[in-house]
Amino acid sequence: MIQALLSPALPPVGDLAPVEKPRFQVEDLCVYLESYLTPEQIREVYRAYQLGAEAHAGQTRKSGEPYIEHPVAVARILAGMRMDYKGLMAAILHDVIEDTGHSRESVAALFGEEIAELVDGVSKLTRFDFPTKAENQAANLQKMLLAMTKDIRVILIKLADRLHNMRTLGIMAPEKRRRISRETLEIYAPIANRLGIRWIGAELEELAFAHRWPWRRFLLQRAVERARGSRKALVTDVETALRDRMSQAGIQAEVVGRQKNLFGIYCKMRNKQRAFEEVVDVFAFRIVVDAIDTCYRVLGVVHNLYKPIPGRFKDYIAIPKNNGYQSLHTLLFGPQGVPIEIQIRTLEMQHVAESGIAAHWMYKSGAEGVSPQALAGDWLRSLVEMQRGSGNSMEFLEHVKVDLFPDEVYVFTPRGDIQVLPVGATVVDFAYAIHSGLGNRCVAARIDRRMAPLRTPLRSGQTVEIITAPRAMPNAGWLNFVVTGKARANIRAYLKNLQRQEAEVLGRRLLNAELAGQGLDLERLPAAQVTAYLERAELPDLPTLLVEVGLGNRLPVLVVRRLMGEEVTETTGAGERGKGPKLDIKGTEGMVVNYGRCCRPIPGDPIAGLFSPGKGIVVHRQGCRNLGDFQRHKDQWLDLEWSSEPSGDFFTEIRVDVGNQRGVLASLAAAIAELGSNIENIQSRERDGHNTSLDFLVTVRDRPHLARLMRRLRQVPRVMRIQRLMR
């Protein structure tokens, strides 16, 4: 069964998607709005409809119906959430800027700045060209999500828009249905769930499942119907038993049994690699009571009725989910040994569980415990921070997708505050969740009072204390294990800023080295010459020019020649280079000076440099064959020399040919450690049955250090030959 469900196949005959709900005309919408809006507000909604109908006149959808029926249907979905009248007006007008001749300014003139801002937030970017469709989609999602941080109604309108589009998706071509469904499952359904609007998230998931994997859904639905047929009376029997026990205990409760949705069952089978028969919680029951104390009384009652399954109880009342969801979850052995899930919550919790952030409009009373509006606000603020740390829209969207993972762990600060993080989150994720400054300075942590490294994954219930150092800074290696979008965005932003600072320093050194041949430096250049060059190069200021030079995007010899007034282009050859002093390399330049992996230069080697756009300088040993590849582009070469006092450790590769003997590798490793070097990597190749070649990537300080190391290795028994590698 599991293989059949997970294997790709053509969809079966027939439309598996849920049948489209009846269309709602504007008259029906206005009648519905009378239940909670004033006549003046309804008139404003109708005025928006009149403009929308006029703007979309003559436009039809793929199904042939007038286009205006779509925004009216979107407004009807929002009306079901008791959306305020301005939100409804924006919903009716949400395609006017994008698809008609009306501009944002004309909408603002007719309906006010607030509604124009909402409509513009939902509208796609149409005035820009993007290299790929993926970048276009990412930019539009970025625009929408950032507009959402200013007004949450933007995303509610977009979710209602996507929901109606999914309900009417059957008319589209199969490839487009799959693409839209994939985007829905990756972005819109998780956002709905993240904001706690579970009913929208669940319907989006089911509709997208039906269109993206129709055959899998068909097989799974058939399996569920067979299972339900063999246990037809189970739901009724359990409901009756639960109501009877509640009545005996004097507890007033609403008991509702339901079957888990197909997409949830499919995800559990796929993610946990389980067969359908192993998915235990196909049947679930919800018990709604009047107060929190009663929830815990009900828990005792149901545990006396059916035996609980050990380790399958979760208390989301004491520790709510990050979207405000609260409930008690317990898994029990039901009748005939069938596992059943029980969810116990209050009526207010039920409102939040179904409506989340939309409960702000639907229900006047506030939810018990943590407000979903406050938690949504925290998430929106984290989106703004992610945007600041993202280089482009694709990167921002990547951070948002990472942040939408539903599974969570709950860890505590030393003061007892709860931090909710995705499963797999590490100490670094925890530090950035508290504050970006704390993440930037963290060096280690104490987990339950025991020291732990930064890459340690966290588990629910742990108490984490971050240890910092004043001069600590993020490491690019952290990106290999952090899982939250906030941590990833902050690390990348810090490293980009650090690279910019280092590039500016290097760029100044490079230009001064070129100017030295003419007896000048940047400080003594006339300001008018610098300003004139910046205007011709369309650069805002001198620091930006220095960064461009330091990153290798502009060659210093050409920049200097243009600064001196020569008519050369920065994309042509440089001709003869300047006669300035060689640039000295200290080993502490940071990310803008890189060392070629082909030849692994170390202090003492004769060296030369190549400019690599976006990276800065790549240092090679003279005689490296990669330098030879640039013989015709000597304008990209740079004369380098080592500083008189280089610092740090440098990588180099050596090959040791040894005879096969037990313990020889341990002897070599001990000798390398004895000379103060560190082994970063080892590769071995057996040359014949008696000899082996070992390639060591080791750290050394300079050539004399390497020479001492090689002499020491020759003293190890069975060593036949040692050589330094140049690949």
Residue 33's closest CA among 45, 49, 21, 51? 45
Going from the C-alpha of 665 to that of each of 681, 689, 719, the distances in angstroms are 13, 16, 10
Q: What are residue 659's DSSP bridge partners? A: 691
First to last CA, the chain: 52
Rounded CA separation 465/427 (Å): 9
Which two structure tokens, joined as six digits, stand for 109?
């003139």
Positions annotated as catalytic residues are: 98-99
User: To 10 degrees, what angle do helices 262-271 and 214-230 make?
Assistant: 100
CB 444 within 8 A of CB 451: yes
User: What are the start-end ranges of the H helices in 389-484?
Assistant: 393-403, 427-434, 436-441
CA 211/CA 176 separation, integer angstroms: 10
- Distance, CA of 165 to CA of 121 (rounded, Å): 18
Label the pairing between strands 408-412 and 418-422.
antiparallel
Secondary-structure percent of the chain, ordered helix, strand, coil, rounded to 5 = 50, 15, 35
Q: What are phi and psi of 684, to 5 degrees?
A: -125, 145
Residue 723's beta-bridge partner residues?
655
Strand 464-468 and strand 442-447: the pairing is: antiparallel
Task: State the Cα–Cα distance between residues 116 and 107, nearest whole angstrom.
Answer: 6
The pairing of beta strand 616-621 with beta strand 593-595: parallel
Q: 432 to each of 442, 464, 478, how far by Cα in Å?
A: 9, 13, 12
Residue 313 belongs to what H/E stretch?
Answer: strand 307-315
Q: In angstroms, what CA-CA distances link 309 with 245, 267, 287, 345? A: 20, 22, 18, 20
For residue 348, which of 481, 450, 196, 543 has the smallest C-alpha distance?
196
User: Alpha-carbon distance 279 to 268, whole Å?
Assistant: 7
Q: Sign (positive/negative) of CA torsion 428, 430, 435, 436? A: positive
Q: Which of 526, 484, 236, 235 is nearest to 382 (CA)?
A: 484
HEC per residue, 3-60: HHHHCCCCCCCCCCCCCCCCCCCHHHHHHHHCCCCCHHHHHHHHHHHHHHHHHCCCCE
Quickly list H helices, 404-467.
Answer: 427-434, 436-441
CA 535, 540, 541, 544 torsion: positive or negative? negative
Q: How many other CB atoms are there within 10 angstroms of residue 172's CB atom? A: 17
